[in-house]
Homo-oligomer: A and B are copies of this chain.
Amino acid sequence: MRKYLGALKSVPLFDGISEEDIQSLMTCLMAKVIHYEKNQSVLMYGDNTNHFGIVLSGNVQIIKEDYYGNRCIVARIEEGMLFAETFAFAGIKKLPVSVITTTESDLLFIDYRKLITSCTEACSFHSRIIYNMLHIVAMKNIILSQKIEFTSKRTTREKLLSYLWAEAQKAGCNTFTIPFNRQELADYLSVDRSAMSAELCKLRDDKMIKFNKNLFELL
C-alpha cells in the first residue's frame, strides 16, 4: 500500500487526513488495490457489489447501454475520483452501468459498509472521511441540479444565457472563461453544436455577450 501513498494523499476522499493516518485507514477499511490493463472490464452491468472504487492512476469510463442496446459513455473518471459510490450508498444492488479502464490503471476498492460503521478504535479520521464522502456526494448533486436547470430551458438561447449567467456568478465577475470547447458545451447543454454556435453569434450581434474562444463577457 505504501507505494500508493503519493496518489492517496491527493484523493479528495482523504482530504484533511495525514499520511500516517491514511495508512491505518487503509487497514481499517480493508481497502485493496487492483492493477488493470487498458480496456479491461472493472465492473459489469448487473454486477452485485458492495464496493466503490477510487482511481489511483489511469482512467476509467462509466458505460451505459440504452434501450436500443447502444453503448454510451456516461462519464470519464480521472485520477483521484470515485466511481460506483452512488450506487453503493443508494443501496442499488444490481449495477445499472459498466466500468472499464481506458488506460492501464490502479484502482482502490472499499466496501461501503466499512465506511459507515466506526472501527473499533473509533479513529478520529473515520468521521473525517465520512464528512468527505457526504461532501463529495452532495457536490455531485449540486452539479447535476445545475445541469438540469440549464438543459430544462426550452430554447438554445435560454440554455446558453442561464449557463453563462451561472458561470459569471461562479467567477464573481462578468468576464470569465468556460471549461468547455464548443462541442463539449453543446454536449453539456444537449443541443446541436452548429445551432449553438449560430445562437452565440446572434447573442453577440444583439450585444448581450462578447466572446473570444473560451473567454466570455456578459453585457
Stretch at the interface among A20-28, A37-45, A99-107, A144-152: A144-152
Q: Given A148-B148, A165-B67, does the pair A116, B131 have CB atoms closer than 8 Å? A: yes
Copies in the complex: 2
Residue A34 CB within 8 A of the other chain:
no
Residue A140 CB within 8 A of the other chain:
yes
Which of B64, B66, B127, B161 interacts with A118 by CB under 8 Å?
B127
Centre residue among A67, A141, A190 by max chain B CB count within 10 A: A141
Residue A135 CB within 8 A of the other chain:
yes
Q: How many residues of A contact B (CB 8 A)?
A: 39
- 0/1 interface trace, chain A 6-30, chain B, CB 8 Å (1 if under): 0000000000000000000000000
19 contacts between A and B (CB under 8 A): A64-B149, A67-B161, A67-B162, A86-B145, A89-B134, A89-B135, A89-B138, A91-B135, A116-B127, A116-B130, A116-B134, A117-B127, A118-B118, A133-B134, A137-B141, A148-B148, A151-B151, A151-B190, A154-B190
